[in-house]
Amino acid sequence: TKALFFVVVLVFFSRRCGYSKAKQDPEEEKMHFHNGHIKLPGVRTYIDPHTYEDPNQAVHEFAKEIEASCITIERVIGAGEFGEVCSGRLKLQGKREFPVAIKTLKVGYTEKQRRDFLGEASIMGQFDHPNIIHLEGVVTKSKPVMIVTEYMENGSLDTFLKKNDGQFTVIQLVGMLRGIASGMKYLSDMGYVHRDLAARNILINSNLVCKGGKIPIRWTAPEAIAFRKFTSASDVWSYGIVMWEVMSYGERPYWEMTNQDVIKAVEEGYRLPSPMDCPAALYQLMLDCWQKDRNSRPKFDEIVSMLDKLIRNPSSLKTLVNASSRVSNLLVEHSPVGSGAYRSVGEWLEAIKMGRYTEIFMENGYSSMDSVAQVTLE
């Protein structure tokens, strides 16, 4: 699987690697071929490493080779599909030593595993954006084989938010969302579809910059689930789920619902309710990202512009989604509830995995199944 990272920054590729081009003579052709790909001067376009006849060529083109002697591994911080993930330090000639993350390929790997492992670097090495995780380089001429990236001190965004529940201002949270959206706009402009956008695959540094990763069912657009149709528009759907995760400080989307229940609910029109104390403008943007018709969803450049406007006008974030609206949203697109089907509102909410909202229903006067049924009919 592809591990892609955002800081509320997205991190993928090296600024110094072979994708940037030397200055061309003005008389040179305006368009030329490279490894069978048409490349336009001044236009950066993602190239799928799998299209290379020799995958090693893609690695050498997009990733810088680092001498193993320049790397100091300090401690293991996790495990990936191909081996351990460590923190350490990198000392390049003429530069200060600095912290890095190091992914190592496990002993006894197959050639396919090596190819897939380094394929990750071939992808990361093509991107250069402050909200995309930066690839420092690879070690391929000695063992263990390594991928070296910038180090994100605060780890994954979802875990970081859970540890710091309620500790940030709305503007800080919107700033994180803006960083993620900016990275996604860059990827979209490059012609790269992420597919794996979720808070658990976004990394965050000490400056609250986020960078991005990998995605299961509950983050996936309905057309991607049904038809395996992944586009920038399906990434926008996933981004809406990430917005919900950030504003709810790392809650699991759809809570304890099974993947099958999530698929069915989304197909029937159910959408996640607003997080507690969420600005109405942000929740509306989430709903826009979750439009069933992918052509009706905003583009990432539009999302960045909307978030910039909100950041410039903090007063626009003071209007919150009110409790009664949250109740209505929970009921949208659900089948009308028969008053005799459940003995209490609490029992019904538990049945649809929404038991945590019982108190809100009571506070807003929905104390009986008759009152709930009336709302669904309206």
Give the residue numbers annotated as catalytic, written as ranges.
Answer: 196
Q: Contact at 8 Å (CB) between 364 and 376?
A: no
Tokens of 63: 């990733």
Strand 5-7 versus strand 10-11 pairing type: antiparallel
Q: Is 103 annotated as a binding residue?
A: yes
214 CB-near residues (< 8 Å, 6+ apart): 1, 2, 3, 4, 196, 198, 201
Residue of 112, 114, 123, 116 whose CA lies nearest to 144 = 114
As annotated, the binding site for ATP includes: 103
